[in-house]
Structure 1
């Protein structure tokens, strides 16, 4: 009986915790865009110098993904800091030592991983209702594009990869 009560309290605590997130700091432009996408822009209190959408809305700049201003982040009193693995481990550790909740997200490599991360961010900040709709719409759009592209004739693409830039030398007669 005690175990059942403990499990119920833990589950209730986790769902309430996501809903209690009112102040979020994003340390990556992709995270910021996802926060906007799922309807959480009112929760965003800090972002990087590359998060143009948020900066244009007057959100506080806290540095870049790699070089964050820990003091400024702490001063904003966030409920959660969302970041990617590009943020220095020592900065993440410092934020955690200061008692801040830091969620480090993986870099998505596929469309499915992008969709999953969008939903993960939405769940973390308590905006999961809108994320389901956003992801469903994106999947539908991609499926439509894939269907249309199958009707196109195949094309050839040339791509040149080189370890150094390609330069063409010109000799000008004197």
Structure 2
């Protein structure tokens, strides 16, 4: 979720604003919940809804909030390390449908490890994913409140920007190689919400590589 100043201010910042409102460990039927997160946005959501203390492992790209950097790493969200995940004895593994290797997820499921794969393809999908994650980790009300807060603040932004002429914008999410936000992504949706006109919307790819 931390893919640029605009997004940090609109969506990631809304999630981050909820840090510190957590609740203690919640005991499950078999003991304390142990969560492995496969993506930065999942990790941030878990902390935002108050389940941060139950996160026992994260992807190598997870670096927020700061305490996440001390947690064991289980590889990338595209190719997670199965052995590293199993060693953490998770009660649930949570990742993204759009970026995870589903073969690895199926392998975890075959071993009897609970998984939850959520969608981040649009703002509406992200809001739904927050609630799904909250339901999975026993933080339904906190997740519902967070999703509602995001919807409310995004609506407020739309109202404040009503009538403003869209400006051409290029959002870059990678530098080597140069990767931009393309059409049909949630970042493209946020650009439009912020009255930006994505100059990379000509591409047929969601994350086009550009040359200077």
Shared topology, TM-score over 0.5?
yes
* 3-state SS of paired residue (1:129): helix
Structure 1 runs (4+) deviating above 3 angstroms are 16-21, 54-57, 160-167
Post-superposition CA distance 1:78-99 (Å, at most 9, x none): 1101112332232112212222
Post-superposition CA distance 1:112-165 (Å, at most 9, x none): 221111011000000112112212221221111111101x44245372657874
In 2, Cα distance between equivalents of 1:89 and 1:132: 27
Residue 29 (1) aligns with residue 11 (2): no
Greater length-normalized contact order (CA 8 Å, ≥ 6 residues apart): 1
Richer in strand (by share): 2
In 1, Cα distance between equivalents of 2:209 and 2:135: 44
* TM-score, normalised with respect to structure 1: 0.74
* 3-state SS of paired residue (2:64): helix
Richer in helix (by share): 1
* TM-score, normalised with respect to structure 2: 0.62
Task: Specify the structure having the higher radius of gyration (Cα).
Answer: 1
Post-superposition CA distance 1:8-62 (Å, at most 9, x none): xxxxxxxx97997611111111111111111110111111011102574322110
166 and 104 in structure 1: CA distance in 2 versus 1, 3 angstrom threshold = closer
1:103 corresponds to: 116
Aligned residues: 150
- Contact residue 108 and residue 117 of structure 1 kept, 8 A: no
Q: Which runs of structure 2 are paired with 1:102-141 in the superposition (5 Å)?
A: 102-109=115-122, 111-141=123-153
Cα RMSD for the two superposed structures: 2.7
